[in-house]
Structure 1
Amino acid sequence: MSAFLHCLSHTPLIGHLDPPQDVLDEVSGIVQAARSRIAEFAPELVVLFAPDHYNGFFYDVMPPFCLGMAAEAIGDFGSLAGTLPVPKPIAEALAESLLTSGIDIAVSYRMQVDHGFAQPLEFLLGGLDTYPVLPVFVNCVAPPLPTFERVRKLGEAVGHFTQQLDKRVLFLGSGGLSHQPPVPELAKVDARMADRLMGSGRNLPVDEREARTQRVISAAERFVEDQNSLHPLNPEWDQQFLDIVEQNNLAQLDGVTAASLSAIAGKSTHEVKAWVAAFAALSAHGPYSTTDRYYRPIPEWIAGFGSISARSQR
């Protein structure tokens, strides 16, 4: 059956610190157009590759990849909260297929996901439960990180599995592009925060959740005034990355190390690995063509904001 893809940046700052109205309207139009294309495609199954931001995955056990057999969105930063409609038999079959293919996938029957998963489901599909969804966590924040090559091979293996299904499959990639918001690093935090990163940060009390939200908003406000207060956005690298996925040259990224990517475009830029996984999955369905490429650096959201669709040609 046919396959469709859409990759979209996410940001926790939507609705908290927005760009000028004309930019907001432009992005809204891009998202609504993508939502219409997806609705026209009418997927029967969604595979969502996305990161986490120390809301569902912590250093008590930090897998490079994890497939949800069941998943719950926590509703951070005002994103949607609730249960994702994971088709458990398909998820279990996918896990078996990945392991057989040499991909060491972790599984979770109690996966918690944050805005990185919830925003694309809300913005592109209209809600968390619009279509059956297989949530695939890709560790893009907590070192040590999976390489581009391993992420690509994960995506290819997922695509080979879905190619065997008699379903219209939508691949979603969430995150990026260049950015470095104030995400805590285990090697640089005090004992209390280290304990949070190692697992006690699950289900934060309301006051801590609000304080965390305010810290990100304050950092964004400073970034708008001084774009050297955080790692600067890198539009040139972002456009080069979009060229690579558009031209299906994903293996070109295999040699890019974690340290070099962080230095070039910011430590949270590793979220583009969710895009690589999604495009690799689509490529397993055969040649693809892209449409509706969009890019704009948006300091208010601390993001090189991107959006792109693609469709298999078979």
Structure 2
Amino acid sequence: MSVLLHCLSHTPLVGLVDPPLDVLAEIDAEIASARERIAAFDPELVILFAPDHYNGFFYDVMPAFCVGIAAEALGDFGSEAGVISVPQDLAEQCASAVLNAGVDVAVSYRMQVDHGFAQPLELLLGGLSNRPTIPVFINCLAKPMPSFQRVRLLGEAVGRFAQGLNKRVLVLGSGGLSHQPPVPELATANPLMRDRLLGSGRNLTANERDARTQRVIDAAHLFIEDQNSLHPLNPEWDQYFLDVLQAGHIGELDGVANDDLSAIAGKSTHEVKAWVAAFAALSAFGPYTTSDRYYRPIPEWIAGFGALSGSTTER
């Protein structure tokens, strides 16, 4: 029994609006180093915590948490499309264990996920189906959202389940740090967009999907020129967040209300809850240490971009 953790920001804009080449090289080196550590660890099971961006989950049914019993990536923004290799029996056992621990979690036997799930599997494991993977969705976008406390409890429950498997478990968390790209909101959406958020967005035409991609690209170009055109990035908060994870003080975040987080660092910053769930899962294995911390605000990607690894002290 052993565990390795890696949390990594994702971005739909990679390859579309990129930072300077030296920054890209720096990030590529960080990802390559993480990929090498993961390959050496040789995980027998991957547990991936990630959000969705109204590509697979919509307001027709919007769970706070969902365990994928079977899952497929849609391939948005040029990310890999295809089936994720989910071990059905283990995924069912995981969902049952979380429910028995008192955390309400949905299940999906036809989960659809987007770049938030696909990118870490591509970048860190070489593809969607190279390792058995249990995908765990966290609603980090659609109000009402779960609190930091509920996310922590979810992660701890998943971690206790994984700790009892006698396997080498890789825990991944996928999410941007401070950021607020142009994502529609139900309360202010026009009738067509409201219908898309209520579920018809599953069936976008190629033209609609291209237009959606172009809106994000245009917003990124404007943000590069004027970082008040969207909610500004908040490197100070991002560094504080990474400090909290490294110190093992995850419970400190319980006191941060959802509306306060949105005001401090942007409405999409709730994606850090995937990192919190991942570190809470790691903590279930025992005391941990962290390494390979990386952070850079990247306006071209409209995000604070970071990475952080962790493992139990016994490893």
Structure 2 letter corresponding to 1:282: L
Alignment pair present for 1:115 and 2:115? yes
Alpha-carbon separation, structure 1, partners of 2:90 and 2:108: 14
Q: What fraction of aligned residue pairs are identical, expressed as a percent?
A: 70
Alpha-carbon separation, structure 1, partners of 2:113 and 2:240: 29
How does 1:12-51 map onto structure 2 within 5 Å? 12-51=12-51
Structure 2 letter corresponding to 1:111: M
Structure 2 unaligned runs (5+)? none
> Aligned residue for 1:11?
11
How does 1:125-274 map onto structure 2 within 5 Å? 125-274=125-274
TM-score (norm 1): 0.99
Structure 2 letter corresponding to 1:181: P
Alpha-carbon separation, structure 1, partners of 2:55 and 2:40: 33
> How many corresponding residue pairs?
314
Structure 1 unaligned runs (5+)? none
CA RMSD of aligned residues (A): 0.5
In the TM superposition, what is the alpha-carbon distance from 1:313 to its structure 2 partner?
Answer: 1.6
Alpha-carbon separation, structure 2, partners of 1:277 and 1:303: 20
Alpha-carbon separation, structure 2, partners of 1:270 and 1:28: 25
> Aligned residue for 1:105?
105
CA shift digits 1:132-156 (9 cap, x unpaired)? 0000000000000100000000000
CA shift digits 1:220-274 (9 cap, x unpaired)? 0000000000000000000000000011100000010010000000000000000
In the TM superposition, what is the alpha-carbon distance from 1:72 to its structure 2 partner?
Answer: 0.4
Structure 1 letter corresponding to 2:159: G
Structure 1 letter corresponding to 2:87: P
CA shift digits 1:197-232 (9 cap, x unpaired)? 000000311110000000000000000000000000
Alpha-carbon separation, structure 2, partners of 1:102 and 1:228: 42
Q: Which runs of 4+ in 1 moved over 2 A?
A: none
Structure 2 letter corresponding to 1:273: K
TM-score (norm 2): 0.99
Alpha-carbon separation, structure 1, partners of 2:113 and 2:285: 27
Alpha-carbon separation, structure 1, partners of 2:211 and 2:220: 14
> Aligned residue for 1:75?
75
